[in-house]
């Protein structure tokens, strides 16, 4: 299947001030709990980093796979949200993350790039690398673009 990286939005890209305001509205939540810090946020790319610490380890003393899944979800959601800004919200509907290399310590960087961005859904790829730029995990997140946000969370 061919990748589509085109922009199907009707409006111009948000300014850096609009992105900063949008990020403030998103809040820190779970990202703060794992120490995730955003380095770059644009509608076309998001980069974030965090330190692998013992509180994020699984019993074998390596980074817990759930942290990778969470970072992939967060980076894709922030990216998709900034791209979709002003039209509603995005929610993750599928997360597929592969763990490729064990990490015990150090700083990791996640980079999210769009694969497809359409009217009703988006698909983002997130690559996580270590300090020597070796790939340690890779994931894809499919996001639903929700215009009627009043319906979110209601049964």
Say whether pLDDT at 2 is over 50. Answer: no
Query: Which one has a higher pLDDT value, 148 or 14?
Result: 148
- Other CB atoms within 10 A of residue 104 CB: 11
Q: Which domains does the chain have, with CATH numbers?
A: 16-148 (3.10.129.10)
97 bridge partner residues: 139
List all residues 6 or more positions away from 109 whose beta carbon is below 8 Å from its beta carbon.
Answer: 39, 47, 48, 49, 128, 129
User: In the prediction, which pLDDT does 131 show?
Assistant: 97
Say whether pLDDT at 46 is over 80. Answer: yes
**pLDDT digits over 56-105, tens only?**
999 999 999 999 999 999 999 999 999 998 888 999 999 999 999 999 99
Split at pLDDT 50, 70, 90, the class of 4 is: very low
How would you class 64 by CB atoms within 10 Å of its CB: exposed for 0-12, middle for 13-18, buried for 19 or more? middle
**pLDDT digits over 111-151, tens only?**
999 999 999 999 999 999 999 999 999 999 999 999 987 77
User: In the prediction, which pLDDT does 10 show?
Assistant: 47
User: In the prediction, which pLDDT does 22 show?
Assistant: 54
Q: Which strands sit side by side in the sheet containing 37-41, from one edge to the other?
A: 37-41, 46-52, 106-117, 121-129, 135-146, 89-99
84 alpha carbon, distance to own chain's centre: 14
Q: State the pTM of this model.
A: 0.84
Write down the H helix ranges in 108-148. Answer: none
């Amino acid at each position: 299947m061919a990748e589509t990286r085109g922009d199907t939005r009707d409006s111009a890209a948000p300014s850096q001030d609009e992105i900063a305001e949008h990020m403030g509205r998103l809040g820190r939540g779970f990202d703060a709990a794992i120490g995730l810090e955003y380095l770059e946020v644009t509608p076309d790319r998001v980069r974030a980093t965090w330190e692998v610490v013992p509180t994020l380890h699984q019993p074998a003393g390596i980074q817990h796979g759930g942290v990778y899944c969470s970072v992939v979800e967060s980076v894709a959601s922030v990216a998709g949200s900034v791209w979709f800004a002003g039209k509603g919200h995005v929610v993750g509907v599928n997360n597929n993350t592969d763990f490729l290399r064990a990490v015990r310590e150090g700083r990791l960087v996640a980079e999210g790039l769009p694969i497809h961005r359409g009217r009703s859904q988006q698909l983002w790829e997130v690559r996580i690398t270590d300090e020597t730029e070796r790939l340690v995990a890779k994931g894809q997140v499919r996001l639903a673009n929700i215009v009627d946000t009043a319906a979110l969370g209601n049964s």
